[in-house]
Amino acid sequence: MRDDETPPQTPTGTLSPATPTAPGTPGTDTPAAQAGPAAWVLRLVAVGLVLTALNLRPAITSLGALLEEVRDGLHMSGSVAGVLTSVPPLCFAVFGIMAPRLARRFGPGAVVCAGMTAITAGLVIRPLVGGTAGFLAASALALMGIAVSNVLMPVIVKRWFPDRVGSMTGLYSMALALGTSLAAAVTVPMTEAMGGSWKAGLGIWAVLAAAAVLPWIPLVRDRHAASGQPSARQARTPELRITRSRTAWALACFFGLQATAAYITMGWMPQIFRDAGVSAGTAGVLLAVTMAMGVPLAFVIPRVAARMRNQGPIVVFLGACGLAGYAGLYLAPSGGAWAWAVLLGVSNCAFPLALTMISMRSRSGAGVVRLSAFAQSCGYLISIPGPLLVGVLYQHSGGWGLPIGLMAALMVPQMVAGTLAGRDRTIEDEC
């Protein structure tokens, strides 16, 4: 751990990291002044991280499970439905860039609390509106909350757990993967259990989002945590010109390409298997297997990555799994379907690796905020064309050869960008 990643010191029992004071300052030599945040405070933040991560995808995957029913209920055209499926990465890019300014003004904890509130409100409102425009607006509200929380998760980890970046990133990444797969798996059965109403099936996820608001309330009420004022050292640090950092650009490209692969997998893998003769039910289970691989590996990979000075070997290993999975889909999609699903699930764990590298590629909390917003916003913009291009190639070629070739080809620059982003350096060295 670098010297300037030393955990911030606060009086025992306070809610937030305090600004370090010079030795000899009155009141700083007492044991209480040298102690860190109370254990119960750190436990509360950890609970907040887990609950927040659980809510960062159900608004999307629950809609995907009920998209046909929503289209019929709102008389939504196919083109509008296509736009709806492309909205999440666009919102993540547009709204995520707002997170650093909001975090400086109100504090990361307060912004995440507001994000969870926005998700709750959006999930409550969108089943109640009667038209497509209102449904899109309510979805955008929920996605705005997801976007700012996406960006600030690495910041919260860096601020509260600077000596446990790998384990805490793994914890919330595992929770994010669990929330993703859980919503995809249980939304339809829950909808059927509640009478078959798609409105109830979508709205029920607001309960989980509301629970995620609660742990952050003490941080909002704490004046020091909400102030967002930098420490004396941070105040003297020049403003980072992050666009000058080659590491930041490499990390943005790596994030965008892994997101492209993930969205293509979620959107098209079941259809690939179905076109190869696999039943619809089995194709759905294969997708669930792919997504479920992220639950254990999302906890393990960040812990391993945080112990390594260079994360390039992990990037190459995950990319090799992806290339093997795509080769299997091309050569024998049905014969080895389970193996290809597992390999692509392992490859998709580039996401928690990217989050870990965001926390490791800056020496300060302020730098992590800037880097997280830059990498995720640019990355999600990069990811938008991928799934659409796969659909176009599939429609015009009449088969999956060209689309799978594109997926495999994109894995190569992903491995190159990830290797460059995984080098042992920080953005402060380059800006």
CA 279 to chain centre: 31
From first to last of the 431 residues of the chain, give the pLDDT tens digit: 444 444 444 434 445 453 333 333 333 333 343 455 678 888 999 999 999 999 998 998 888 778 778 888 888 776 676 667 677 888 888 888 888 888 888 888 899 999 999 999 999 999 998 788 899 899 999 999 999 998 899 889 888 888 888 889 889 888 988 888 888 778 888 988 998 899 999 999 999 999 999 999 987 765 444 333 444 444 444 566 888 899 999 999 999 999 999 888 877 888 888 889 988 778 878 888 888 888 888 889 998 998 999 999 999 999 999 999 999 999 999 999 999 999 999 999 999 999 899 989 988 878 888 898 899 899 989 998 888 888 888 888 888 999 999 999 999 999 999 999 999 999 988 87
How far, in Å, CA of 62 to CA of 293, rounded? Answer: 19
* Number of Cβ within a 10 Å radius of residue 421: 28
* Three-state secondary-structure class, residue 160: helix
CA distance 40 to 42: 5
3-state secondary structure 271-294: HHHHHCCCCHHHHHHHHHHHHHCH
Cα-to-chain-centroid distance, residue 222: 27
